[in-house]
């Protein structure tokens, strides 16, 4: 099995390490430039390059099975152009929103589906981290996150929130957002987003707070229901429930190294899809939904009004 990883940064190195641990027989080649791709003819392509290069890399690797780092593209128009091209020879295409593969988020979702806190009334998500500490071995100013031309900015880089919220509750109907650059970080992108969103059914309202400058980094989601509350902490790998019976937060699951292990689970799922034993959990068409939310947030902030989210 020949695997080509496009992108030699931290994401590319992480994929290489994961593949070598799960599939030791794989022949892995890491390339820095798109010019190196065409002569390689891999069975599998892993696209871990800057988001702004995803469309070109996907076109060059059509025919191979593709694992594409999130987000799918920088704009809805780019994503739709990619969707217009059907993968050759039935190739599998999976978009790498790896949080769906964490044990804790899967348990969080199953608790909600089982009605463990009754009817969801509202959801509140908060995510942030001090950007210079994201990749401590590199100058943050040169990274994808800090540069608009590479597809950076808080909305695209932290679009995990839009992906898992859509997975939990469906695509939001509308958003009202304030998106801005408020810190002293040396970037040319938005580093803060405060978003209200509404859903067609339940929960009635959602709140998402994203930033690139929080020193006490974390990622949490709390759903408040008619019979209690449920809280997911991605960093701790925990799901907690609060209800009248417990009269306090009770841990119902705890998974150490949850996010790190999600990359292994994601790769195994990808191989299962290639072997015909599973269907991709996040297809490019599903990943388009996150970009629809991102663009609605930008439009809402620019126009200072509530914006309906286009449904694909």
Q: Which residues contact 167 (CB under 8 A, 6 or more apart)?
A: 100, 109
Residue with tokens 């701790």: 236
Q: What is the pLDDT of residue 201?
A: 87
Give the CATH number for residue 65: 3.40.50.720
**174, 166, 157, 192: which is closest to 290 by C-alpha?**
166
For residues 108 and 16, state if they share a domain: no
Prior bond to 229 cis, omega within 30?
A: no
118 and 86, same structural domain? no
Q: Is residue 243 part of a domain?
A: yes
pLDDT tens digits for range 248-297: 899 999 998 999 999 999 999 999 999 999 999 999 999 999 999 999 99
Identify the residue whose tokens are 């417990």.
246
Q: Give, as one character, the DSSP assignment of residue 310.
A: P
In this structure, the answer to whether residues 42 and 61 fall within a common structural domain is yes
Distance CA 238, CA 289 (A): 27
Shared domain for 112 and 243, answered yes or no, is yes
Report the pLDDT value the prediction gives residue 224, as an integer from 0 to 100.
97
Same domain, yes or no: 73 and 201: no
Per-residue pLDDT, 36: 84
Q: Are 204 and 70 found together in one domain? A: no
Shared-domain flag, residues 94 and 105: no
- Model pLDDT for residues 154-169, shown as the tens digit of each residue: 999 999 999 999 999 9
Q: Does any domain span residue 261?
A: no
The answer to whether 209 and 177 have CB atoms below 8 angstroms apart is no
Phi, psi of 76 (to 5 degrees): -65, -40
Angstrom distance (rounded) from CA 268 to CA 16: 14
Do residues 213 and 186 lie in contact, with contact meaning Cβ atoms separated by under 8 Å?
no
What is the pLDDT, as a whole number, of residue 184?
96
pLDDT band at 88 (very low <50, low <70, confident <90, very high): low
The pLDDT of residue 5: 95
pLDDT at residue 33 in the model: 83
User: Mean pLDDT of all residues in the chain?
Assistant: 94
Q: Are residues 229 and 250 in the same domain?
A: yes
CATH of the domain at 182: 3.30.360.10
**pLDDT tens digits along 180-208:** 999 999 999 999 999 999 998 889 999 99
- Residue span of the structural domain in which 294 resides: 100-256+289-308
Are both 107 and 208 inside the same structural domain? yes
Percent of the chain with pLDDT over 70: 99
Q: What is the mean pLDDT of residues 127-135?
A: 94
Per-residue pLDDT band for 244 (boundaries 50, 70, 90) equals confident
pLDDT in tens, 93-117: 999 999 999 999 999 999 999 999 9
Number of domains in the chain: 2
Tokens describing residue 44: 């599998």
pTM of the model: 0.95
* pLDDT band, residue 38 (cuts 50/70/90): confident
pLDDT at site 90: 83
């Amino acid at each position: 099995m020949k695997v080509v990883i496009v992108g030699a940064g931290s994401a590319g190195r992480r994929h290489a390490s994961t593949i070598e641990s799960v599939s030791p027989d794989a022949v892995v080649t890491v390339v820095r430039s798109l010019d190196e791709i065409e002569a390689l003819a891999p069975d599998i392509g892993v696209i871990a390059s800057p988001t702004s290069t995803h469309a070109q890399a996907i076109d060059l690797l059509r025919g191979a099975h593709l694992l594409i780092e999130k987000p799918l593209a920088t704009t809805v128009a780019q994503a739709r152009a990619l969707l217009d091209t059907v993968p050759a020879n039935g190739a599998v295409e999976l978009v790498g929103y790896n949080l769906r593969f964490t044990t804790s988020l899967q348990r969080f979702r199953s608790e909600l589906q089982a009605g463990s806190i009754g009817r969801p009334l509202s959801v509140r998500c908060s995510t942030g981290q001090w950007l210079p500490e994201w990749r401590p071995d590199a100058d943050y100013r040169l990274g994808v996150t800090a540069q608009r031309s590479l597809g950076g900015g808080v909305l695209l880089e932290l679009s995990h929130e839009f992906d898992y919220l859509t997975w939990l509750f469906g695509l939001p109907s509308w958003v009202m957002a304030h998106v801005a650059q408020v810190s002293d970080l040396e970037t040319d992108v938005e580093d803060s987003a405060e978003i209200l969103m509404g859903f067609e059914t339940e929960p009635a309202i959602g709140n998402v707070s994203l930033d690139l400058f929080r020193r006490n980094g974390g990622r949490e989601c709390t759903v408040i229901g008619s019979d209690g509350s449920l809280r997911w902490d991605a960093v701790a790998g925990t799901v907690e429930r609060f209800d009248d019976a417990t009269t306090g937060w009770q841990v119902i699951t705890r998974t150490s190294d949850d996010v790190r292990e999600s990359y292994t689970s994601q790769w195994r799922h990808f191989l299962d899809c290639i072997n015909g034993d599973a269907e991709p959990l996040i297809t490019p068409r599903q990943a388009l939904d996150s970009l629809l939310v991102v663009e609605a947030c930008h439009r809402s902030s620019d126009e200072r009004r509530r914006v309906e989210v286009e449904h694909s």
